[in-house]
Amino acid sequence: MCGRYTLKTDAKQIQAELGLDELPSLAPRYNIAPTQAAPIVTAPGKLTLAQWGLIPHWAPDATIAGRLINARADSLEEKPAFREAFKRRRCLVVADGFYEWQHHGKVSQPFFIHQASDRPFTLAGLYELWHAPNGLEVTSFTIVTTAADPFMSKLHDRMPVFVAPEQRARWLAATEDVAALKPLLAPGSPEPLAAYEVERHVNSVAFDDARCLEPAKQVQLSLL
């Protein structure tokens, strides 16, 4: 987890929320999937598009990206794929919701999780710059995950790391003192979360519109 997420908030609201230097040109996204391009903040006020799925600078090709869409908070200093990025290339992943699947026998039911206020939020991420054999430079990122808080534990044992507004500059700061950043990797969210079951359109990457957020017509699980 986190394997799909959304960013459908109006561009002006995103600019105001993040204090961006320029108004971003972003189309609403309802089903952002691994290996697709999505916006990240690499420095205060700076938004850039990057591929979801980290490609370490030493990777011989880009196929590793699909296996590195998430990075466990408890192993960032140990894993070669994440160690350098944790020290030098941290980013904020901009989102306003994400999906999680609850498995119950043969039923795999998607849930949409969002802040109860419906405000956009930022997740802890790491990014890399990778040079393809043809000379093209690719910016890629991964989302950091941690143990689930009491709310998310009803759905999964892990959750993405939320970076509260007052901690964003600290996460992005040019420091290699990663020990000081570890408290930011704790479970929880800046605002209360809400969730509801959605139709299974989101299961297919071919769907990237408001249908992904349609409440399930038949509720399979009464967990939240």
Core vs surface per residue 59-80: b (16+ CB within 10 A) or e:
beebebbeebbbbebeebeeee
197 flagged as catalytic: no
17 is catalytic: no
Checking phi first, is residue 58 left (phi over 0); if not, alpha (psi -120 to 50) or beta?
Answer: alpha
DSSP 159-224: EEPB--GGGHHHHHSS---GGGGGGGGSS--SS-EEEEEB-GGGGSTT--SGGGGPBPSS------
**Of residues 77, 84, 100, 212, which has the active-site annotation?**
100
d(CA 14, CA 72): 27
Active site residues per annotation: 2, 100
